[in-house]
Amino acid sequence: MTRKKSVSAETIAATTTPAFYGLLTQDAGMQRVFRILEKAAQSEASVLLRGETGSGKELLAQALHQLSRRQSGPFHAISCAALPASLLESELFGHVRGAFTGAVRDNPGHFRSASRGTLFLDEVAEMPLEVQAKLLRVLETHTIIPVGGHEPVSVDVRIVAATHKGLRAEVEAGRFRADLMYRLRVVPIFIPALRERPGDILLLAHHFIHELNQRSSRRIQRISAAAAALLKKHDWPGNVRELRNVLEYAFVVGEGETLEVSDFPPELLEPEPLPPRVTSPPPLGPLVPTKADQVERIRQALRESGGHYGAAAARLQLSRVTLWRKMKQLGLLKAEATRRR
């Protein structure tokens, strides 16, 4: 059965917006990313791309490579989250024959395979600490030592790293080396999420549908007004990759020339869950003046807050610093330290 043409539908047409190495945008923030990338490409400085999953980090790394003096060299990409430490080390730095069980031949590794080109380290925040130390040595000496080898081998490769996490927070948590962070983020580039550039949603939707039309006998000629509104309303936690997947799903399962809301995957139609209600005891109110009451109130707040000073301070309607001073005056800091041992 043919569905009726939607009122105020978006007609599909090839986009006239110029692409930046395969990336489309009308957003000023994303265009600024492109300009920074063009400048960074003219140097050998290490670039760190920060963006959510599906935001186009690898495409930007490829664009940087194509804009650089290394464009005629290879571009290699490896996910630091996909392999355990032992395999990641071998993949990056190579290994010699017999280095471990199954090493039946020499493996040059990505650093040597990407010689005179670019090596893209995706999800670099997931790299184990022991591999981080070896990567830092490579960046400092421009040499590698293959697994099972003894002699350093010179390498000539540009590193572009990417992560969806804040490396500074990872450093503070002890999961990432500060010295490596500074080596990798000489030029940090922050990629806006798709929800932060809503003007790109329908632009990209038209582009992806036009591509799908070229590869199939089916043709989507328009997007219904309701479907377009839903695309613009969705939060897109998976960013451009999620948008592409949603449209490909709709293209495969839908019928007719108009893309309708009913063509979208079920999860896009589900209402967003309400945040869980958090119930907590009512505030205890300001500290009363007597010493005994102050001690008891502080101890009660700490008990009910699980020993968390920030939460206890909030319950007492004090700043964390003021609570600390009060505890010091009342001799509670030493008592708490003894209790927690």
- The tens digit of pLDDT for each residue in 264-311 reads 999 888 765 555 555 555 555 554 457 777 788 888 888 777 777 777
Average pLDDT, the chain: 85
319 contact partners, CB below 8 Å, separation of at least 6: 313
Indicate whether 115 belongs to any domain.
Answer: yes
Asked if residue 286 is part of any domain, the answer here is no
- Indicate whether 202 and 317 sit together in one domain: no
More confident residue, 318 or 14: 318
Report pLDDT for 6: 44
Predicted confidence at residue 325, as pLDDT, reads 73
Q: For residue 224, tell me if it sits in a domain.
A: yes
Same structural domain, 251 and 321? no
Asked if residue 103 is part of any domain, the answer here is yes
Is the pLDDT at 7 greater than 50? The verdict is no
Do residues 70 and 47 both lie within one domain?
yes
Full residue range of the structural domain in which residue 319 is found: 291-340
One domain, residues 181 and 302: no
Q: Is the pLDDT of residue 26 over 80?
A: yes
Rounded Cα–Cα distance for residues 297 and 301 (Å): 6
pLDDT tens digits, one per residue of 192-233? 999 999 999 999 999 999 999 999 888 999 999 999 999 999
Same domain (yes/no): 163, 295: no
In a domain, 281, yes or no: no
Mean pLDDT across 244-266 = 94
pLDDT higher than 50, residue 89: yes
51-83 b/e (C-beta count within 10 Å ≥ 16 → b): bbebbbbbbbbbbbbebbebeebebbbbbbeeb
Residue 100: count other Cβ atoms within 10 Å of its Cβ. Answer: 12
Say if residue 133 is in the same domain as residue 260: no
Domain match, 87 and 144 both: yes
Distance between CA atoms of residues 119 and 58, nearest Å: 11
- Mark which of 269, 304, 328 sits at the end of a domain: 269
Separation in Å, CA 13 to CA 83, 204, 220, 222: 42, 11, 10, 9
Give 4's pLDDT tier (boundaries 50, 70, 90).
very low
The β-bridge partners of 10 are 223
Read off the pLDDT of residues 156-172 as tens digits, 9 standing for 90 and up.
Answer: 999 999 999 999 999 99
Strands 10-11, 222-223: pairing is antiparallel
Q: 5 pLDDT exceeds 70?
A: no
